[in-house]
Structure 1
Amino acid sequence: MPKSFKLCLTMAGAVSAGSFTGGVLDYLIETLTLWEEAKATNRKLGVNHPEYNHSVPMHNVEIDVLSGASAGGITGTLTLMSLLSKNHKPVNRSNPKGEDNLFYKCWVKMADDDKSKTLEKLLNTNDLSKNKIPESLLNSIAIDKIANEALTINSEVRYPPFVSKDLDLILTTTNLRGLNFKVDFSGDSKTNSANIITNHGGFFRYKVKNELFERGVPPQEDSLFYVLDLNENQDINYLKDATLSTAAFPIGLKSREIEISKKYIERYPKYLFGMRKGISPLILDNEESYKFNSIDGGLINNEPYGIGIKVLNEKNKTLKTNDNYAVVMVDPFPNQDNNPSLFNSERDILSVAKGMFKALRNQVMFNQDGIFEALSLSDRTKFLVAPSRKTILNGEAIREQHHLASSPISGFSGFMDEKLRKHDFELGRKNCQDFLRYHFSVKEENIVKRLGEEIPKEAIDRFSYTNPPSTKNGARFFPIIPDMKTIEAFNQKFNLEDYGTDATLDYPTYPKIDLEEFEQAYKAPIKKRIRSLVRSISRSGILTFAFRLIFQRKAYKLVIDTVRNSLSEANLLR
């Protein structure tokens, strides 16, 4: 059997800009499906049949690991559910409203319904009580509604050929309780001398029940994952809780209480520290399971490609030898802090405090699980899909200054209006189309080694491209996942006859927000939410009245000025 090219797909945190990631994954699955249909037709005909299409590459690509944090964790779960569903449909000219598409439903429509919009639900005050300190600044009912409608029973799990039956879903989490480990410093077993270290970063790892795996925690002691049965409500709820917890944006959205098997915790040191002796987890004797409050997985590991490639390597022992793998990270907000000369000489307490928190955050990201293994990957094994919006002027593509409509207000602006999220979703599809055709590739001379078989000349002529583009003497590359809408990539010819506008996606029109209309709709709900938060925190009717009388207008002005300035800076105001 020919070897498969293994994929690890990593989805970074992005708040409401997860709509971009959803668009990328939607186009990726559509492309893999069309390619598989073309391959299936060839296999049915046989290579000697006169109608056999030699321009269709017949190598195998398999999605083996999905890893995600925060909004990327949500998209990771949606990817799992979409890949294994027989009802999934891509969003294209045949399905512009996103019917039977979880990415579109969750990231574009969100919690909008006939009764209220998503932002109205986030501002609703029915989660607040004057006798209880609030769990979050925003009402998480909207997030719960999205999860409850998206994550449902799948009684007919099916695996397309491009999905591994050993598929892993990894979701990062931040454990506020922390998991304590006792490190033995005695040197012998008689002396009680130990140091305690605490880990607040963690992950959920899932597989799906099939002929290879039984439901539950596997019996093997070195297996650190849970096997979900997607036909069981309890397991759907496990997945839902984990997904909501990785997306619990600190303070903004409520934290989630998580309960996991004690057996899982007992195996954790072996995963973290290998086979080393003298390290053991500390769990209360009367705890039958381990409970903790979980918040946004992106707080500690926002771009979990390290742990993704670590798991991929664990499962495929010959991966590095064969070089038949790649990690693709979709990141709406890739870290661009790369100026080596940037130095702040200020040493006042405020500057030091800012620098300290930045240093702690960066060091946590640097120490993420598996990152050093990921950094040792060979050439053309790490790929990034990041937002890119261009304008065509005189036949030349000019890169715009602003790309995502959901990026203002620290990524929260997408909650304001569906058209912002729709733009980013469509941009994700467009960027993925360009990525698959002209970036996600191997050098032509490495085709056999990396893809596992010879590619017919007809297929190379159809899909290969050069860098610089369309230059006869440029370096030649062949796409790992060929886009069946392509007629001739080198000359940028695409199948408009069969696919119409889907063959060459345009950059979506950048949306605009009318701030007066926004204020008319949301001024009262914003004021009420602020006032209710003050009441819940102060637990005093007098203080709440004083706030309403003196500070409410200033508080609202601060909010709306922040919104105005952020939208204006992103050129989103009408």
Structure 2
Amino acid sequence: MRNAIPDPTNEQEKSPAAEPGKFHLGICMAGAVSAGAYTAGVMDYLLEALEAYEKVRGQPGIPKHEIEIPVIGGASAGGMTAMLTAAALQREMYHIDHPGPDILAEHKDHILYHSWVDLTDKDMFERMLKNDDIDGTIVSALNCLFIDEIADRVLKPKDPESIKWKPLPSFFPRKLKLFTTLSNLGGFTYNVNFNARGSRRPYYMKVHQDYACFELSSAEQPDNHSPGWMPLNFRTGANAQVAVDAALATGAFPVGFKARKVTRSKDVVNNNPLFDEKMLQAIQINADPYQSLNVDGGMINNEPFDKVREVLSAVCGQQAPALYNDYNTFNSTVVMIAPFPSTKPVDIKLFDKLMHVIGLTLSAMVSQMRSKATQVVDAMNESCAGQFLIDPTRELRKTDGTKADLQGERAIACGALGGFSGFLNKEFRVHDYFLGRHNCKIFLRDYFTVPDSAKDENPIFKAGYQGIDTAKYRSEVDGNWQIIPIVGEVDYTFPQFAFSSGSNWPVQNWEAISQYSGVLKKRVQALILNLVKYKPVHKFFLWIGTRILLRGMIAKAMLATIKDELNRWQLLK
């Protein structure tokens, strides 16, 4: 990465030796599709806990070490949430701790909740099957105009005078680094020279991994921004449109959602801080401005914890893994929020049938694109201090009275259908949002901790906890000490949801989903008839064939898949 050595003149990149009482967090948000509601809930409580601690930090009986978040990065839905968080940081936002009596009520004054849970309709599936986005050209399998509506709400709120703007919270630096991953379809061309017939011949190749990088600041006229980082301010509008475009681009699920264009200056692209010096020299572009066509950033890098760590290490001056992976010496850590944490892959079946091989080929391509360098993978060892993970977990009471402990994607209602189930029912999104808050509470209290040795030997926590020896800041699991001390009264009980199912786990009535058969057929027919340009006579016969046979077959197969997935997730009644 460029700028690997901190710049002592930059307030954000002071040497940690000059800030011995400050601990740094890098936030990484993984892809999630509609389960972005879970990530939004986690972020909502994380910000609430930091605000509460900062108000009383250093008072009698309260630890005094500082917490600062210098970098937030994400991919796909995580990248979208990163940008929404940036917008939320500049305005007053009151946290939502419990669902109210009307569980489907909107919260328009809460940008994270309104964007991920409210969306634009309670019934999003019907909205996504409408054909008002088709005008002779197909841009996506699903209607994604609702995403543009949400983006417009962020950029052009209907009542801007009602927004209460505020400076960045004190637990962020003056310039917060933000980035989203992009899958750049045009890519960056570079060449590898070969000797051939007595002369040098270029061998052209492309790299499609890309990043949109920003520095969020409250200053109306930001100065001295770091090379490759675009100054961002939602209040003044500085690069706000580019940030929203990048958010839409990183969330452009391939085929399902529309590919998105992002426009940046040549200087920004040629100094991309998340590429190393050799790569930047190889891919220099000349077009100014530079415009790229992008799909889901998670396709190539769905968990950009490696890039968050690079930025974090540069800011904190701790480049050696041996230092930042040791509780007694680390001054920073990466917190990754992953609604779909990875599981150990199962061995493939060695069948050579075409469709089986096609599926394995696509899976292998994506896995290879997302793989990290060996040293980064090794750094994600669970015994290391340099990274922590927040993922879904909850207890589910079954109708027969038994309990089941759910982990990972099975613990979230938006986890079915590859993350698309949240678009079927707003109750699914409500559940996941408050589960995110609940999981974050437990994580900060019991698992985001340091052992006794770090409290005694790490200068940050030794000074922060000096003279304080109370159980209220210790984990209820192993007695370790909280990195973010939890202050005030916190309700750790699981939210009591009043779902239509009568339980605290949302379920959908199959009749409510099967009613989409008609609009699904119309969507399938519109896609087939507009996918390419046909001669009138061909289009006529295709229309007849589609109406009589094809659309019904495809719609039936899709509904069967939906039913099977919802049953596996226990989301049907």
Aligned equivalents of 2:543, 2:459: Cα separation in 1: 66
The letter for the 2-side match of 1:410 is G
Aligned equivalents of 1:95, 1:349: Cα separation in 2: 52
1:242 aligns with 2:246: yes
The letter for the 1-side match of 2:361 is M
Query: CA contact under 8 A between 2:249 and 2:294: conserved in structure 1?
Result: yes
Match of 2:445 in 1: 437
Match of 1:504 in 2: 493
CA 1:94–1:297 in structure 2 vs 1: closer, same or farther (change >3 Å)?
A: closer
Deviations 1:155-203 (A, max 9, x none): 844121211223111100000011102345579xx96533322110111
Q: Shift of the alpha carbon at 1:421?
A: 0.4
Q: Shift of the alpha carbon at 1:560?
A: 1.4
Q: Shift of the alpha carbon at 1:28?
A: 0.8
1:162 aligns with 2:180: no
Deviations 1:271-325 (A, max 9, x none): 5343589x43264x5x332222100000000001011111111222146554111
1:363 aligns with 2:352: no
Q: Shift of the alpha carbon at 1:13?
A: 0.4
SS in 2 for 1:430: helix
The letter for the 2-side match of 1:529 is R
Query: CA contact under 8 A between 1:207 and 1:226: conserved in structure 2?
Result: yes
Uncovered stretches (5+) of structure 1, i.e. residues with no partner: 43-52, 470-474, 486-494
CA 1:81–1:211 in structure 2 vs 1: closer, same or farther (change >3 Å)?
A: closer
CA 1:267–1:191 in structure 2 vs 1: closer, same or farther (change >3 Å)?
A: farther
SS in 2 for 1:389: strand
Shifted more, 428-437 versus 364-373: the winner is 364-373
Shifted more, 503-512 versus 156-165: the winner is 503-512
Shifted more, 367-376 versus 198-207: the winner is 367-376
CA 1:311–1:565 in structure 2 vs 1: closer, same or farther (change >3 Å)?
A: same
TM superposition score normalised by structure 1 = 0.83
Aligned equivalents of 1:412, 1:354: Cα separation in 2: 20
1:533 aligns with 2:527: yes
The letter for the 2-side match of 1:84 is Q
1:149 aligns with 2:153: yes
Which of residues 143, 146, 161 in structure 2 aligns to 1:139?
A: 143
Which of residues 90, 109, 112 in structure 2 aligns to 1:84?
A: 90
Deviations 1:190-242 (A, max 9, x none): 96533322110111110024569836x94x6xx22111132344622111100
The letter for the 1-side match of 2:31 is G
SS in 1 for 2:414: coil
Q: Shift of the alpha carbon at 1:369?
A: 11
Aligned equivalents of 2:317, 2:129: Cα separation in 1: 50
The letter for the 2-side match of 1:451 is I
Q: Shift of the alpha carbon at 1:379?
A: 2.6
Match of 1:125 in 2: 131
Query: CA contact under 8 A between 2:72 and 2:82: conserved in structure 1?
Result: yes
SS in 2 for 1:206: strand
Q: Shift of the alpha carbon at 1:350?
A: 4.5
Aligned equivalents of 2:44, 2:63: Cα separation in 1: 22
Aligned equivalents of 1:203, 1:416: Cα separation in 2: 31
Match of 2:39 in 1: 21
1:461 aligns with 2:471: yes
Aligned equivalents of 2:403, 2:68: Cα separation in 1: 33
Match of 2:419 in 1: 411
The letter for the 1-side match of 2:131 is T
Percent identical among aligned pairs is 28
Match of 2:13 in 1: none
CA 1:84–1:460 in structure 2 vs 1: closer, same or farther (change >3 Å)?
A: farther
After superposition, residues 166-177 of structure 1 pair within 5 angstroms as 166-177=175-186
Deviations 1:64-119 (A, max 9, x none): 1101000111111122222232x111112498854521111011101127xxx432
Deviations 1:524-546 (A, max 9, x none): 32222122112212542331232
Query: CA contact under 8 A between 2:230 and 2:239: conserved in structure 1?
Result: no
1:325 aligns with 2:314: no
Query: CA contact under 8 A between 1:324 and 1:450: conserved in structure 2?
Result: no
Uncovered stretches (5+) of structure 2, i.e. residues with no partner: 1-18, 324-328, 498-503
Match of 1:558 in 2: 557
Aligned equivalents of 1:233, 1:318: Cα separation in 2: 34
RMSD: 3.2
Match of 1:346 in 2: 351
Which of residues 523, 546, 569 in structure 1 aligns to 2:517?
A: 523
CA 1:367–1:319 in structure 2 vs 1: closer, same or farther (change >3 Å)?
A: closer
SS in 2 for 1:204: strand
Match of 1:66 in 2: 72
The letter for the 1-side match of 2:152 is N
SS in 1 for 2:267: helix
CA 1:351–1:516 in structure 2 vs 1: closer, same or farther (change >3 Å)?
A: closer
Which of residues 478, 482, 490 in structure 1 aligns to 2:481?
A: 478
1:384 aligns with 2:403: no
Q: Shift of the alpha carbon at 1:361?
A: 1.8
Query: CA contact under 8 A between 2:21 and 2:464: conserved in structure 1?
Result: no
TM superposition score normalised by structure 2 = 0.83
Aligned equivalents of 2:411, 2:519: Cα separation in 1: 29
Aligned equivalents of 2:438, 2:93: Cα separation in 1: 19
SS in 1 for 2:411: coil
Match of 1:488 in 2: none
Aligned equivalents of 2:303, 2:96: Cα separation in 1: 26
CA 1:344–1:28 in structure 2 vs 1: closer, same or farther (change >3 Å)?
A: same
Query: CA contact under 8 A between 1:388 and 1:399: conserved in structure 2?
Result: yes
Deviations 1:516-571 (A, max 9, x none): 12333x33322221221122125423312321122222222112111111111111
After superposition, residues 203-352 of structure 1 pair within 5 angstroms as 203-210=211-218, 214=222, 218=225, 223-233=227-237, 235-268=239-272, 272-274=275-277, 279-281=281-283, 283=285, 287-318=287-318, 321=323, 322-339=329-346, 342-352=347-357
CA 1:367–1:454 in structure 2 vs 1: closer, same or farther (change >3 Å)?
A: closer
Query: CA contact under 8 A between 1:5 and 1:450: conserved in structure 2?
Result: no
CA 1:59–1:244 in structure 2 vs 1: closer, same or farther (change >3 Å)?
A: same
Aligned equivalents of 1:64, 1:457: Cα separation in 2: 28
CA 1:213–1:376 in structure 2 vs 1: closer, same or farther (change >3 Å)?
A: farther
Query: CA contact under 8 A between 1:442 and 1:450: conserved in structure 2?
Result: no
Query: CA contact under 8 A between 1:389 and 1:507: conserved in structure 2?
Result: no
Moved over 6 A (4+): none
Match of 1:37 in 2: 55
Query: CA contact under 8 A between 1:245 and 1:255: conserved in structure 2?
Result: yes
SS in 2 for 1:406: helix
Deviations 1:424-474 (A, max 9, x none): 1111111111101110011122025163414145454221136xx3xxxxx
Aligned equivalents of 1:147, 1:80: Cα separation in 2: 13
